[in-house]
Amino acid sequence: MKTTENYLSEISEIRKMMQESSRFLTLSGLSGILVGIYALAGAVMADSLLFTSHIFSWLKGNNVVADLSVLAGIILSLSIITIVILTSIRVKKAGKKFWNIGSRQMLLNLSVPLLSGGLLIIVFVFKEFYEIVIPGTLVFYGLSLVNAAKFTRNEIFYLGLFQLILGIVAAILPSIGILLWALGFGLLHIIYGVLMYFRYEYSPKG
């Protein structure tokens, strides 16, 4: 005859397996903070390239669109590298694998709206329809997060929802577009990162 302990451990084992096999729970919150800081720096630089152009005038080439595209590319690459490195460290610490059912599902569900949205925006940029960039990136990023949330921590759902709202507001009020973009990709990432870090990663004993 089994004891209560046995049954309790069976139940908790079942729960653990169900969760771990379908969700990727070791995404680094710290990387969210860094990504937010990169985005804020990027937004300041983009703003000066577009308007004031005093501080970063030395960066300025002949073509603003090309400058901004390079800037966006650098920030995007830096963000992805940061997320992958910090998440790998967390995964290793937890003694788990980076590439498992949960992470594959999450990446698949993230990348479908993200890549299709990204390509759509690039097509519009080539057609010189630049108004789409800020609301488009916010809305498609928001949709990607909402979609990927089923396969990671549920907080991502709300992060996505806020990005979506900011994107739609940015479409209505293009004059404060960069500010809204900085709020979404900068401030929201930082808030999200701090929240996740203290909720799941930080432990006083280190």
Q: Which residues bind another protein (CB under 8 A)?
A: 4, 7-8, 10-11, 13-15, 17-18, 20-22, 97, 100-101
- Of 13 and 131, CB closest to another protein: 13
- Of 7 and 129, CB closest to another protein: 7
CB of 203 to another protein, least distance (A): 24
- Of 100 and 111, CB closest to another protein: 100
- Of 56 and 96, CB closest to another protein: 96
CB of 174 to another protein, least distance (A): 43
HEC letters along the chain: CCCHHHHHHHHHHHHHHHHHHHCCCCCCHHHHHHHHHHHHHHHHHHHHHHHHCCCCHHHCCCCHHHHHHHHHHHHHHHHHHHHHHHHHHHHHHCCCCCCCHHHHHHHHHHHHHHHHHHHHHHHHHHCCCHHHHHHHHHHHHHHHHHHHHHHCCCHHHHHHHHHHHHHHHHHHCHHHHHHHHHHHHHHHHHHHHHHHHHHHHCCCCC
CB of 160 to another protein, least distance (A): 22
